[in-house]
Amino acid sequence: MTQRFAGVPDVLAHADLDDSSAELTVDSTLYSLESVYGASFTFIDRCFVFLDRPAEGQLRVTLAAKKSATQDELRGFVGEFANELLACAWREKITAENRGAIEAVTMQALAGAMGPPSLDELEDFDFSEEPFEDPLGIAMSWEEKYGKDKAKRKQGEGPEAAAPEPAEEEA
């Protein structure tokens, strides 16, 4: 016996109380198959999950309860599935947008787990490359960049030598 869910269009979801199952139709242009798989996976402990493609651009998800279920329980399954489907689609979008950062962190973690290079690997490394250009002095150490000026100030040379250093206050 097919039952409608209050507040949900019959085209999108309905229940079959005789089989203790609910069917949900998903627009595959909005939700990827991977998102449907992810949402389905969260239900395999409570339901048998069947996926079907009744028409182009649609996926039908059938959630068959492992134990006898009431209409309210089936409606709960449909609502939870819809929420989980939305969460899976959102996680998929975030992962796609941050793929570069995820790959970089993963590569650094794997490289660190491999340990330092061996002597054989260092022997094969080509050290003949010219050093990279650094026109802004970003890669320069602080001592290289400011150490000479500090030495001149101590010796009394340069424009900074004329200004007295501030006195420290006693507590």
> What domains appear along the chain, each with residue ranges and CATH number?
2-99 (3.30.70.60)
Q: What is the largest CA-CA distance in the chain?
A: 98
Q: Is 113 exposed, middle or buried (0-12, 13-18, 19+ CB in 10 A)?
A: exposed
92 pLDDT more than 90:
yes
| Mean per-residue pLDDT, 130-147 | 76
pLDDT at 18: 67
The C-alpha atoms of residue 104 and residue 163 are separated, in whole angstroms, by 48
Q: Judge contact between 15 and 24, C-beta under 8 A.
A: no
The C-alpha atoms of residue 82 and residue 57 are separated, in whole angstroms, by 17
| Phi, psi of 167, rounded to the nearest 5 degrees | -80, 145
29 pLDDT more than 90:
no
